[in-house]
Structure 1
Amino acid sequence: MTRNGRRTAAGRSILTVLTTLGLLAGAALTGAAPASAVPAGGSGRRIAPGVTYREFDITAAAGRTHAHLLTVDLGNPRVRMDLLYPGAVAARATVSRLADAAGAVAGVNGDFFHITETQHPGVPATGAAVGPAVAGGRVLKAAVPAGQRFGPALPPGTTAREVLGVGTDRRARLDRLTLTGSLTTARGRRRLGGLNQYALPQNSVGAFTHRWGSASRVRAVCGTDTDRAAACSKDTYEVKVRGGRVIGTAGAPGSGRIPSGTTVLVGRERGARELRELSVGDRVTVTHGLVAAAAEVPYAFAIGGYPVLRDGSPPPGLDDTVPAVRTAAGFKAGGRKVLLLALNGADDSRTGLTIAEEAATMRGLGASDAFNLDGGGSSEMVTRVAGASGVTVRNHPSGGAERPVPNGIGVFSR
């Protein structure tokens, strides 16, 4: 069939995995993955060196759902993974467009994002992702405060700083990336509170660079650390810095493209009051980066979401009641093999999986660790057929068409 001018390959069932009612959810909670949850029977078809694709059915508690799976061999020197994004943090594009623009052979959608803004009339949605992001070894953004997240509630013990990434050692891992940075003036030094984020912590100063894009920065001062719907702050200020000196000030966050080499500082409450002490010509030094909690090597790429499987076991508190169309990423073989899973959103196979079932499915596929990405209408997988000029959408997006998203995971093969 055709969708948005692109061929889709969903609907063909290669394999049916039968489970008893609630078996997957029970396995995720008890820690014993049933053999019947493992989609055995074929290694899939090769779409590029080190990259294979297959599809199969899963019958879970809510009924049958159709799954699409990519297996990526990072042990193959011809293969790599990276972040797909439209060139700016606060921008969106479909996964197929992102993959084609980057020359990827396959990809899936990525992090949850600021998709809508109903609590603050007149404030536009930015489209920016929730969590940290690293592309091509470059830091793009940090995580918003946990209370400002869009998406389902985080499982106990997790934060908005969770990432799945691939290090420069070509191994995938789960980690947390925390913003580190400072703002230094003649009056002293203070910790930086945000980097290219659609929401800043209360009383903080956040930095916006050219990687943010041209979207309005007003949303950054709305809500609180615990309540996304809280009113926008009325105590705000903005300072533009270039070449280590203040070149402009404003009483409220602005919008428009930020030139490369320029940093826009946005302050709220106490942060705004400190920025008001600066004048044009004053010296300002801004530093920013992301610090990993676990990795000892830099990340080549990283994307936000939250873990559903660690060292073979699901964390406590995973939801086992609400099924949905989902996208997940996981790895095995010490991070050398990555599994990317996307469910179908077509009416006849969109019952989906609960988070607990998703964890059990990934473990059944052999993953030691797994990570939940954005789902619902965002869930999408694309692959490039040999000799084709563009990628093929493999699953049926549940909204009836591809949804523009801020980022995704791209698979590349030379």
Structure 2
Amino acid sequence: MRNKFKKLITALAFSAVLLSSLKVNASSVIHDVKERHDIATGVQHVQIDRFTNNGWIDIEVLKLDTKNSFSNLTPLISGQGVSKRAVLSDMINSNGAVAGINGDFFETTSYPMALGSLYGDNKLILSTPEVAFSRNSFYITKDGKGGVGNLNNNIIVTNIGKGINYSINALNKISKPYSAISILDSNWGAKSPGNSIGTRNTEVLIVNNRVVDKRTGGVSFQILPGTYVLTQVGTGLDSLSIGDTISINYGGYENLAFSVGGGNILVSQGSVLNNPKFSKTRAPRTAIGINSTNTEVLLVTVDGRNNTSIGMSEQELAEFMKSIGSHHALNLDGGGSTTMGIKYSGDEKATIVNYPSDGSERPIVSGVGIKSSAPVSEPNYLKITPSEKSTFIGFSYPITVEVFDQYHNKLQVNPESISISSESGNISGLNFNPSVKGPGKITASYAGITGATDVFVHSEMKELILDVGSLQMTNGKIHIFETIYGKDDLGYKKKINASQVQFSATEGIGIFEGNKFTAQGDGVTGVITANYNGVIRNIPISVGTQKENIFGFDSIENATVSVNPNDDTKITASVILDSETQDENPSTALVYSITPQKEAQSASINYKGGISLGTAQYVGLWIKGDSSGGKVIASFRDANGKTGSAVLIASVDFNEWKYVEALVPASLNGNIFLDKLSITISDEVELVSSIKFDGLIAGIKLPLDWELAKGSSVSGDPRNFQGETEGASRISITSLSKNGGDNTQKLNHLQNKNVAVIFNGASPETMAGINAGLKFNGNDVHNIKTSNGTAFITLQSNQNGIRSANAAQWKPFMAAMENADYKNIVIMMQHDPENLTGAKEKSFFFDIIDKAVKSGKNVFIVSPGNTNSVEWLSGYRKVSLTGYGNAVLDINIKDGNLSYVMTRY
């Protein structure tokens, strides 16, 4: 299947060409990305990723040059005939085609039936049904003229000796109640229906234009090439006798070179139809068209009903067919039937290049194929494909070199006869080992033919990124380092296989087996070191916990009670201090009263704001039981608001003091809070009792020793320094605290700057108090502001993406990113673009960023985050601002040189 996330940036260079050739619905098209592939002589496959106001549309186009004598349209049917369905890829393989699409609409009866015509390779395979049920067809006449419309079914069988004509309902089609006369030939299948459609079914076998057998309610006839069977449930064939001589006249079909049935006409005589019967639903679509000079046939599929393509309405499909040159066009079967397959030269089987909406190919009755009879000739060109176009020094990349002739036949050659070279690195066999940074080429030659492909070479790895930045574990716990990246000197990341990384740990803290670490010991700290070709990453680790006294339960100031069900006729509760204790201070008692109920009842002590447990891994406390048989549960919450619970006692079957412990749920992270202690009674009893708590402790994760972890390799950003401010263009960007925090220092810092931006917005009064050359809120609607060669782009976004927030901003954003006058670009978004859910839009966005970076632009993307920080990623600076803490991003530009720092107070 096609690579849905292919590198879009390559195609950006062709945008002007694409947009000029694809003007359909120009107001709704944001961008088109096209890739062309020659399949056979006169046959081209074009992949189009269309980005519109409504979403992405994946379009596949097959173009057939009808002037090419080696390639032509061919009908596709199952290898078992039209009475059986088959998937398109099997049809392409069995019919010797190089490519194809699904064809006509069909009924899925016991004998599947395509509804319209099918003609090709000098034979009629399917006729249209009788006039009352006639359907549109796309056709090409023997003199090469294309058209769309009804093909009248005027097939006549004549009994020459008796002078009787028999009007034929259809060729190779039968449908209930089978009362119309149909003619079946070997394209139907191996056998006629026989008595499978009823004991009254009459069948007449014709061989060499003579009736040789006749059966009513009999077994099936074998249908060999050159033989025919007339079939009808009724009396219409009674006049035919064995020995009668017959003739068959196919009428207007004899003037055809090709035809296929379909649905609505989309384009006729160069005009897009506005048919009220057009389906307005966006769905997968298939269509066929021909241009005004009858020199190019267009086979089209449009994907839909999936996360990457929204599909088209029939009106949109009609307009698209017109836009790519169709003078006539017909809608074919769509939905789950929409399929395009290509049998690439050298492959044994066809490949499906679109995404069928059913998740796999749907068996169909007919298809439209393309055959090529071109001979194999001398080598003509090379296709060079490295495993990756974006490469890194220190890695090896396999190269595939294919040799093709002038007809696009793939030739089998000795790989040792191919010479490969590159000024960007060395070649070892069929592997490229980059060594020179920047854009480059890989060149290959064979038999006097030379070809080349572009590559980009990044530096060697400068920094390692592990899946965790630290570890706090307990004895025996395991961590597997699976996701490992290296980062080059521009912040671009490359995934590294864990088997290529050497791991080690401080002695006595644990052991490594490959990338699997098992913690050992208790109460120890140290460091884990990952080493990739001398690039080091150290992370601190601690194993074990330390007990800390948290709360003596000697105060109920922040304690309240709750009951479930909330009905004081069934259950009541109160919280008091009690003198019975484990130390000299009071304990806390939960006093409760319950009546017999079928459902469980619970009473709880709730602590306002929670009791802070730090980074607790477990809790321990004393409980004085009441032999009630109840279950005691602790409820926790972490700093992110995530909640969890742990059972302290499954059944209170004691009435003395007992020390108990329970693990904090592993799903909770960071600072943990104890919010509630509860007792639940499931028995139907009447009870007045109390349960007491004392001496809460927490098993706190051991602190990490960050000093030990110093010495990691880092990919430093050469522009991250405090540049000269005298005579510089000074830019300051910050977020304000919205919860009553003091913003004085940040607002003072913005004064007298060339550009002052409040990323999360401020009131008009606040903005009026800032003295700056250019000042604005970074959370406004989309706009582009400029100052001294720097563009400030505000992009509206939501969790689904940029388009869904405001599609109209995409075109001006793209234009700004390509504007040579903007050397520095600051993009402000209220959602981190790396977390957007629209995968294709996200990929497209970052390809644009990548192109801008590689053209020499300095790009900053500002979005909300959990920390005030700047990270260098893939050539751009990712700026996170929280609004908390006094932090300002300062950018200075002097004499064209940019520097930046995150200033903190």
Query: What TM-score do you get using the length of structure 1 for normalisation?
Result: 0.74
Are 1:213 and 2:189 matched, yes or no? yes
Distance between the aligned counterparts of 1:267 and 1:403, measured in 2?
30
Deviation at 1:253, TM superposition (A): 7.6
Q: CA deviation at 1:396?
A: 1.0
Q: Structure 1 76/388 Cα, relative in aligned 2: closer, same or farther at 3 Å? A: same
Shift in Å, 1:62: 6.5
Determine if the alignment matches structure 1 residue 366 to structure 2 residue 316: no
CA distance in 2, matches of 1:262, 1:48: 35
Aligned to 2:213: 248
Answering whether residue 291 of structure 2 is matched by residue 291 of structure 1, we say no
Alignment of 1:2-401 (within 5 A): 8-12=1-5, 33-36=24-27, 44-58=36-50, 63-87=55-79, 88-115=81-108, 117=109, 124=110, 126-145=111-130, 159-160=134-135, 162-179=136-153, 180-184=155-159, 186-193=161-168, 194-199=170-175, 204-214=180-190, 217=193, 236-252=201-217, 255=220, 257-268=222-233, 272-281=234-243, 283-291=244-252, 298-306=255-263, 307-315=265-273, 316-345=275-304, 347-401=306-360
Q: Structure 1 residue 220: deviation in Å?
A: 11
Q: Show the counterpart of 2:611.
A: none
Gap change, CA 1:202 and 1:102, over 3 Å in 2: closer
Q: 1:67 to 1:323 in 2, by over 3 A?
A: same
User: Which whole-Å CA distance do the structure 1 matches of 2:68 and 2:28 have between them?
Assistant: 28
SS at match of 2:106: coil
Moved more, 97-106 or 343-352: 343-352
Matches of 2:297 and 2:322 in 1, distance apart? 12
- How many residues in Structure 1 have an aligned counterpart in Structure 2? 354
Q: Paired residue for 1:26?
A: none
Q: Is the 8 A contact 2:140 2:147 kept in 1?
A: yes
Question: 1:40 deviation in Å?
Answer: 5.9
Q: 1:12 to 1:365 in 2, by over 3 A?
A: farther
SS state of the match for residue 183, structure 2?
Answer: strand
Cα offsets for 1:235-273 (capped at 9, x unmatched) = 6533333344443333348645313343222234xxx32
Residue 348 of structure 1, CA deviation: 0.7
Asked if the contact 2:284/2:305 (under 8 Å) is kept, the reply is no
Cα deviation code 1:330-381 (max 9, x no counterpart): 1214221111111225621353211111111111222221111111121111
> Following the alignment from structure 2 to structure 1, what is the Cα–Cα distance between the partners of residues 336 and 278?
20
Q: Distance in 2 between matches of 1:103 and 1:260?
A: 19
Equivalent AA in structure 2 for residue 177 of structure 1: L
AA of the residue aligned to 1:34: N
Q: In terms of mean alpha carbon deviation, does 40-49 or 300-309 score higher?
A: 40-49
User: What displacement does 1:291 show?
Assistant: 0.8
**Partners of 1:69 and 1:108 in 2: how far apart?**
10
From the superposition, tell whether residues 216 and 107 of structure 1 become closer, same or farther in structure 2 (CA, over 3 Å): same
Once residues 196 and 65 of structure 2 are traced to their aligned partners in structure 1, the CA distance between those partners, rounded to angstroms, is 39
**CA–CA distance in structure 1, aligned partners of residues 209 and 325 of structure 2:** 51
With over 3 angstroms needed to count, the CA separation of the structure-2 counterparts of 1:43 and 1:261, relative to structure 1, is closer
CA distance in 2, matches of 1:59, 1:408: 29
Amino acid in the other structure paired with 2:293: G
| 1:134-156 deviation line (CA, Å, top 9, x unaligned) | 120111121234777xxxxxxxx
Check conservation: 1:110, 1:303, Cα contact below 8 A: yes
* Paired residue secondary structure (2:82): coil
Partners of 1:318 and 1:80 in 2: CA distance: 32
Identity %: 27
Q: Deviations over 1:60-108 (max 9, x none)?
A: 7864331111222212333222112234222222221222233322211
Partner of 2:521: none
- C-alpha separation between the residues in 2 aligned to 1:99 and 1:372? 21
Higher relative contact order (CA 8 A, sep 6+): 1
Deviations 1:105-145 (A, max 9, x none): 22111111222x3xxxxxx2x22321111120111121234
* Matches of 2:269 and 2:84, distance apart in 1: 35
Structure-2 separation of matches of 1:324 and 1:259: 41
Given that 2:174 and 2:182 are in contact with CA atoms closer than 8 Å, whether structure 1 keeps it comes out as: no
Task: Give yes or no for contact 1:144–1:200 (8 Å, CA) kept in 2.
Answer: no
Change (3 A) 1:189 1:59: farther
**1:131 match: secondary structure:** coil
Task: Specify the SS of the correspondent of 1:273.
Answer: coil
**Structure 2: runs of 5+ lacking an equivalent:** 13-22, 375-905
- The CA distance in 2 between the partners of 1:187 and 1:61, in whole Å, is 67
Deviations 1:172-212, CA, capped at 9 Å, x for gaps: 43353333212326554223223211238986422222221
Question: Counterparts of 2:194 and 2:335 in 1: how far apart (Å)?
Answer: 28
Alignment CA distance shift 1:77-1:240 (3 Å) = closer
Aligned to 2:542: none
SS in 2 for 1:300: strand
Query: For the Cα contact (< 8 Å) 1:318–1:355, is it kept in 2?
Result: no
Q: Structure 1 residues 146 and 278, CA, compared in 2 at 3 Å: closer, same or farther?
A: closer
Q: What is residue 156 of structure 1 aligned with on the other side?
A: none
Go from structure 1 to structure 2 and tell me whether the alpha carbon gap of 1:52 and 1:10 turns closer, same or farther (over 3 Å shift).
same
2:284 is paired with a residue whose SS is coil
Aligned to 1:121: none
2:362 paired residue number: 403
Amino acid at match of 1:104: A
Find the aligned partners of 2:144 and 2:363 in 1 and give their Cα distance: 29
Counterpart Cα distance in 1 of 2:195 and 2:266: 30
2:151 is paired with a residue whose SS is strand
Letter in 2 for 1:93: A
User: Larger Cα Rg: Structure 1 or Structure 2?
Assistant: 2
TM-score by length of 2: 0.36
**Are 2:59 and 2:301, in contact at CA under 8 Å, matched by a contact in 1?**
yes
Query: In the alignment, is the contact (CA less than 8 A) between 2:285 and 2:301 conserved in 1?
Result: yes
CA gap of 1:406–1:208, structure 2 versus 1, over 3 A, is same
1:304–1:109 Cα change, 3 Å: same
SS at match of 1:308: strand
Report the equivalent of 1:29: none
With over 3 angstroms needed to count, the CA separation of the structure-2 counterparts of 1:275 and 1:383, relative to structure 1, is closer
Whole-Å Cα distance in 1 between the matches of residues 121 and 221 of structure 2?
25
Supply the AA of the counterpart residue of 2:188.
W
Q: CA deviation at 1:395?
A: 0.4
Q: What's the Cα RMSD here?
A: 3.4
Once residues 394 and 267 of structure 1 are traced to their aligned partners in structure 2, the CA distance between those partners, rounded to angstroms, is 42
